Amino acid sequence: MVIYMTEFENEKEKRAEEERERVLLVGVDDGTDSGNFERSMDELKSLAKACLMEPVGVITQKMETINKGLYVGTGKVQEIKETAGILEADVILFDDALSPSQLQNLQKELGKPVLDRTTLILDIFERRARTREAKLQVESAKLKYLLPRLVGMHEALTRQGGASGSMSSRGAGEKKLELDRRRIERRIGELSRELIEVSKERQVQRKKRADARIPLVALVGYTNAGKSTILNAMIDAYVGDCEKKVLEKDMLFATLDTTVRRICTGNNKDFLLSDTVGFIHKLPHGLVKAFHSTLEEVGNADLLIHVVDYSDPHYREHIQTTKQTLSELNAGDIPVITVFNKVDKCEDLIPFPQMAGKDKVYISAKERESIAFLTDTIIDRIYADYVWGEFLIPYDKGGVLSYFMEHAHTERWTYEEKGTWIKVRCHKADRNKYREYLAERA
Q: Please give the pLDDT value at position 259.
A: 81
Q: Which run of H or of E encompasses 149?
A: none
pLDDT band at 1 (very low <50, low <70, confident <90, very high): very low
* pLDDT average, residue stretch 50-78: 93
Give the pLDDT confidence score for residue 111 in this predicted structure.
92
385 versus 169: the higher-pLDDT residue is 385
Give mean pLDDT, residues 392-410: 89
- pLDDT higher at 416 or 357: 416
435, 221 contact by CB (below 8 A): no
Residue 61, pLDDT above cutoff 80: yes
What pLDDT score does 423 carry? 92
Q: What amino acid occupies position 8?
A: F
147 pLDDT higher than 90: no
**Quick check: helix, strand or coil at residue 440?**
coil
Percentage of the chain modeled with pLDDT above 90: 43
**pLDDT value for 425:** 85
Among 52-61, 271-280, 282-291, 352-361, the minimum mean pLDDT is found in 282-291
Q: Is the pLDDT of residue 272 over 60?
A: yes
Per-residue pLDDT band for 258 (boundaries 50, 70, 90) equals confident
Secondary structure class of 164 (helix, strand, coil):
coil
Q: Among the residues of 87-171, which ranges form H helices?
A: 100-110, 117-128, 132-146, 150-153
Greater confidence (393 vs 252) lies with 393
Confidence of residue 174 (pLDDT cuts 50, 70, 90): low
309 pLDDT higher than 70: yes
Number of residues written out for the chain: 442
Q: What is the spatial distance between Cα 365 and Cα 368, in angstroms, rounded to a whole number?
A: 7
pLDDT of residue 335: 92
